[in-house]
Structure 1
């Protein structure tokens, strides 16, 4: 089904799970795994159809060069972006207006909105024009304005809401040239990973997923998305998330 695949953010929990899943599910495909460090290279001997490359997310020229590396084997049928940040060191989601910080807003928007936008800029022109192609980016349910019932988490919610608008805009533009293209946001659920670790005690029983389960669920969503659904955001169970 997919001949050329790119996974960006391949060293994170969900990124690694996607690389392993896609490598085994499509053994004849060429899979490009991009990461800002070389920790993923530990899997090189096991995943022989995967080409590993480093990428500097803070350098647009590095993003552009990363995209160019995929041209060697033809256009891309599937692009998955699993990058993102919720907390880091002293950076934690805000509980109230008192906690707001311009620095935190900048960091989260750079990681969760600006970076994905630049990845779309440089990787979307490489989507296969001769067959259906999918560009999927991890978003989050908390980026939904309609679904927001609890408040808090100002910068993270806002950065993901902005990402969802980037995805919608991109879908409209890309569809003008490629009617069968799909660009969507994906909510992976709460995954047992360093990103969710400080908040896992609040997760209902049965709702803390392994990265493998999340990747498998999201791949099912990707494989059943129609071009008419491009620009939307979907949860791991296939349910559409309202803006």
Structure 2
């Protein structure tokens, strides 16, 4: 089934719509849905502050078919990915967990009630393959890896709970591949990359194919399951 067949004509909410992937996803979803977007730069939403998240949740009308979390960052407040354990900075690691793990958890807490009560619904959050413990063969990037691994656990646990009440719900973590952006440009040299528009198209294709039987999973841009 295609995304349009499963969710077309419904309403979508995208967090982080001012970013590269988020903005491209908004453009793609606008072809088949009514899309709303929230971001820190455009709306003042701070996903690391519960008051901010709860305040915005209270302003919106329930009934979304799709909620997509495209927030997150590789570098925060000047803290770059560590090359070794010795490079860990407590403030930098805390910032990674606040944005990449706590943020999505707060979005789940306050926005899941805004999902449509009937029909197929989707809540997806951007993760990263480097958050996979089993796939980690080279080390490094400790704080970012750990925060994304925590995000994956949050999504998996939430999917179990949500699935008890919403049998047609799909709750997943998605790896978009290496996407060209200002924040990732310095890390692209050794990796094949795609444009934000290509990433958005890939993600939409995958989301259309995922079923409730796959809820709680971690999938890449091609629809392949990523090991935990």
TM-score bin (small chain): over 0.9
Higher deviation after alignment, 179-188 or 56-65:
56-65
**Larger relative strand fraction:** 1
Deviation of 1:30 after TM superposition, in Å, equals 2.4
| Superposed counterparts of 1:1-243, under 5 Å | 1-23=8-30, 25-26=31-32, 29-38=33-42, 53-71=43-61, 74-88=62-76, 90-203=78-191, 207-243=192-228
In the TM superposition, what is the alpha-carbon distance from 1:196 to its structure 2 partner? 1.0
Q: Secondary structure at the match of 1:240?
A: coil
Q: Does the aligned pair in 1 maintain the 2:47–2:104 contact within 8 Å? A: no
Unaligned runs of 5+ in 1: 39-52
1:107, distance to aligned residue in structure 2 (A): 0.5
- Partners of 1:7 and 1:31 within 8 A in 2: yes
The size of the alignment, in residue pairs, is: 221
Higher relative contact order (CA 8 A, sep 6+): 2
1:89 positional shift: 5.2
CA contact (8 A) 2:67 2:122 kept: yes
| TM-aligned CA deviation for residue 154 of structure 1 | 0.5
8 Å contact 2:74–2:80 — kept in the other structure? yes
Q: Aligned-pair RMSD on alpha carbons?
A: 1.2
2:13–2:37 CA contact under 8 A, matched in 1? yes
TM-score (norm 1): 0.88
Aligned 8 A contact 1:2 1:78 in 2 = no
CA–CA distance in structure 1, aligned partners of residues 110 and 98 of structure 2: 16
TM-score (norm 2): 0.93
Which residue in 1 is equivalent to 2:4? none
Kept in 1, the 8 Å contact 2:17–2:39? The answer is yes
SS in structure 2 of the partner of residue 234 of structure 1: strand
